[in-house]
Homo-oligomer: A and B are copies of this chain.
Amino acid sequence: MMDFPTWMSAVQDRTEAMLSHILPSTEKAPSRLHEAMRYSVLEGGKRVRPLLCHATGALFGTAPEILDAPAAAVELIHAYSLVHDDLPAMDNDVLRRGKPTCHVEFDEATALLVGDALQALAFELIATPQVTLPPIRQLEMVRLLGEASGSRGMAGGQAFDLQSVGRQLDVPELEFMHIHKTGALIRAAVLLGAHVGSANAEQLALLSRHAHRVGLLFQVVDDILDASTDTATLGKTAGKDAASNKPTYVTLLGIGAAKELAEQLRTEAHLALVPFGASANRLTELTDFIVDRTF
């Protein structure tokens, strides 16, 4: 088995290649929209969701070629949510992945359409027939991605987030928000990989539990990094949540208890994978990478 950094780099490379292939060329009309779509998706991000999708597929011995489309589809949904999130009506952010945000580099109307078009592209991509996947399984994957993205998933979590600004949330409320805002798509990334691997109901339940912990873990670590890292290292505006009076795990728990919570979630995430034995090693390594990352 190749070592983790080599595997990660290989998945990031093939994800980039897939995204570049599926995003329309800037030579196709409307060229400015396509330019802005490519600007917002390519050459940026850790590709955590594609990594989760591939690591889960690997658990079932699935060939990476069959995982490229669902992995890229989840990343397109994630990328669209960042573009819309950064708009003045939402977080009003100017920096993302070390570059000006889409509406700063282009304009607000274009950024709005970029997000809309990326979402449509994600569904077009994940619905493109793959001979190795039973159509009924693939249809279930479309439905799963739709649910994870919508009002009872990611978009719903963002609506909770809007309502929470300036309010005092407790930890269960914060958890509820993040299970939707970040967790829903992370869970989708894992479950899509599992569906491609023809997981059965019991395996889906275990992986769903794992992904639930990873989703929270990801946010707790994000909050820790946001409170303790500078803007240049993060590639996005640091300390913004505290400055805008948004509740975070660090502001609610303090940095020490937030770090303890991360360790507890890491343990629970690992435990959910125990029944899979060594076949889950890649997913375990990826979980550790998500906890131990510094950017």
* A127 CA / B120 CA spacing, docked (Å): 14
State whether the Cβ of A28 lies closer than 8 Å to any Cβ in chain B.
yes
> Are A120 and B30 in contact, with the CB atoms below 8 A?
no
> Are A128 and B151 in contact, with the CB atoms below 8 A?
no
Neighbouring B residues of A81 by C-beta, 8 Å:
116
Neighbouring B residues of A117 by C-beta, 8 Å:
149-151, 155-156
9-residue interface stretch from A51-59, A106-114, A192-200, A225-233: A106-114
> Are A156 and B33 in contact, with the CB atoms below 8 A?
yes
Complex partner residue of A120 from B24, B108, B110, B155, CB under 8 angstroms: B155
Complex partner residue of A121 from B30, B84, B146, B162, CB under 8 angstroms: B146
* A177 CA / B30 CA spacing, docked (Å): 10
State whether the Cβ of A6 lies closer than 8 Å to any Cβ in chain B.
no
> Are B150 and A121 in contact, with the CB atoms below 8 A?
yes
> Are B124 and A146 in contact, with the CB atoms below 8 A?
yes
State whether the Cβ of A136 lies closer than 8 Å to any Cβ in chain B.
yes
> Are B113 and A155 in contact, with the CB atoms below 8 A?
yes
Specify the main secondary structure of chain A where it touches its partner.
helix
In the complex with contacts A89-B112, A112-B90, A119-B119, A128-B152 CB distance below 8 A: no
Q: In the complex, how many angstroms separate the beta carbon of A213 from the nearest chain B beta carbon?
A: 22
State whether the Cβ of A284 lies closer than 8 Å to any Cβ in chain B.
no
9-residue interface stretch from A13-21, A137-145, A245-253, A258-266: A137-145
In the complex with contacts A128-B143, A129-B136, A143-B124, A110-B153 CB distance below 8 A: no
Neighbouring B residues of A132 by C-beta, 8 Å:
none
State whether the Cβ of A240 lies closer than 8 Å to any Cβ in chain B.
no
Chain A residues numbered 119-175 whose CB sits less than 8 Å from any CB in chain B: 119-125, 127-129, 134-136, 138-140, 142-143, 145-147, 149-153, 155-156, 158-160, 162-163
> Are A120 and B153 in contact, with the CB atoms below 8 A?
yes
Neighbouring B residues of A150 by C-beta, 8 Å:
117, 120-121, 124
6 closest A-B pairs (Cβ-Cβ)? A124-B146, A120-B150, A135-B135, A127-B142, A89-B108, A33-B159
